[in-house]
Amino acid sequence: MNILEVKDLQKTFATQIAVDKISFQLEKGSIFGLLGPNGAGKTTLIRMITGIFYPDAGEILFEGKPFDPMNDILRIGYMPEERGLYKKMKIGEQALYLAQLKGLSRSEALQRAKEWFVKFEMQSWWNKKVEDLSKGMGQKLQFVTTVMHEPRLIILDEPFSGLDPVNSNLIKDEIYSLARKGATIVFSTHRMEQVEEICDHIILVNRGQKILDGTVGGVKQQFKENLFRIGLERPLTGEDLKTADASDAFTVVGRADGQLVVKIAEGHRPNDVLSWFIRKGEGITSFVEILPSLNDIFIRLVEGTPLARQFQRL
C-alpha cells in the first residue's frame, strides 16, 4: 500500500513555476530519494506535502485519503534544511516540547527522549542550550526531535549536513532501522551519491519538473551505455589498439583506473569482446561492466553529456 500519492502537483510564485505538475507514489517502508540541484523545486514540493504550502493545483493522498494538514501532520516527521530549534531553550525541554506538539503526553515524551538521548550519547547535553551546540550536535538533536513521535512518514532534508563520518553513519543506521520498522523515509538532497547508497527508489527533479522516476538499480540499467572495463596482464601498444579498433564487436573509448574501457557494439555481447582478446593471446585479469552513477545520469539528462566522455583518451 502507498502511504503517499502526489498527483499533478503545481505551485507558482509570482511568475516562477516552482513545481510543475509532479506526480509520484511512496510505498510504505521504502526509502525514497528526492534528488535535484539547488533551486530544482525539492523544498517547495516538501512544504506542500507537509501542509506548509497549499498547492495551486493537483492532489495529495495520505494513506489513500485526501491529505488533511490538521490531522495527518501528526503522523509526519519533517527535518528541514533550515534548522528550526530554539537557540535559548535547554535541549531536554526542547525535545519534550516538540514531542508534545506532535501529540505525546509529557510522560511519553520524557521516556522516548531519554531513550534517544542514550542511543545518541546525548545524556550530558540535557541542560545545555542549543546555542552552545556545534552544527553537528544540533543536527543530531534535530533528527531526534523529528522521529521521537514515531511518525509513519519521515522527511529528511539534507540530514547529513555538518556531521562527521561517525555521526553520519549513526544517522544512516537509524534511517535503515526506522524503515525496517515500517516508517517511510523521504531523503532530499543534491548529494546524489548519498541517495544512491541509501535509497530504494528515486525521483529526479530539475526546474520544477520530474525528469526521472524509478528504482536505483532500474534507473542505472536504463541509462547504461554498454561500457566495460578490462584489466589486462600487459599494456596494449599503439599497434595493438589499431588492431582492436578494427573489431566490429567493440570500440576502445579510453582508460579508467589503468584499465582499458570498451564500448560493445549493438548486436554483440560481452562474450564477443572476451573472445577477441583470448584469440589474440591477451591475459585478462578483470572484466567489469561500468554502470553510471546517479550523478552521471543527471548530468547526461541535463547537459546531454555521455558517460564515455569521462574516460581518459588514449
Q: What is the pLDDT of residues 52-77, one digit of tens each?
A: 999 999 999 999 999 998 899 999 99
Q: What is the pLDDT of residues 288-308, one digit of tens each?
A: 999 988 888 888 877 766 666
Q: What is the pLDDT of residues 121-178, one digit of tens each?
A: 898 889 999 889 888 888 899 999 999 999 999 999 888 888 888 988 999 999 999 9
pLDDT (0 to 100) of residue 307? 64
| pLDDT bracket for residue 309 (50, 70, 90) | low
- Return the bridge partners of 10, or none: 57
- Return the bridge partners of 263, or none: 227, 251
pLDDT for residue 111 is more than 80: yes
| pLDDT bracket for residue 10 (50, 70, 90) | very high
Of 3.30.420.40, 3.40.50.300, 3.20.20.140, 3.40.50.920, the CATH number of 2-221 is: 3.40.50.300
Q: How far apart (Å, rounded) are the C-alpha atoms in residues 183 and 22?
A: 23
Looking at per-residue pLDDT, the higher value among 271 and 247 belongs to: 271
The residues near 60 (Cβ < 8 Å, ≥ 6 apart) are: 4, 5, 6, 7, 9, 48, 49, 66, 67
Q: How far apart (Å, rounded) are the C-alpha atoms in residues 89 and 132?
A: 10
pTM of the predicted structure, to 2 decimals: 0.85
pLDDT for residue 244 is more than 90: no
* CATH class label, 225-290: alpha beta
Domain boundaries, the chain: 2-221, 225-290
pLDDT for residue 312 is more than 60: no
Mean pLDDT of the chain: 88
Q: How far apart (Å, rounded) are the C-alpha atoms in residues 76 and 74?
A: 6
Query: Are the C-beta atoms of residues 146 and 80 closer than 8 Å to each other?
Result: no
| pLDDT bracket for residue 179 (50, 70, 90) | very high
Write the CA distances from 288 to 100, 196, 263, integer angstroms.
Answer: 53, 19, 12
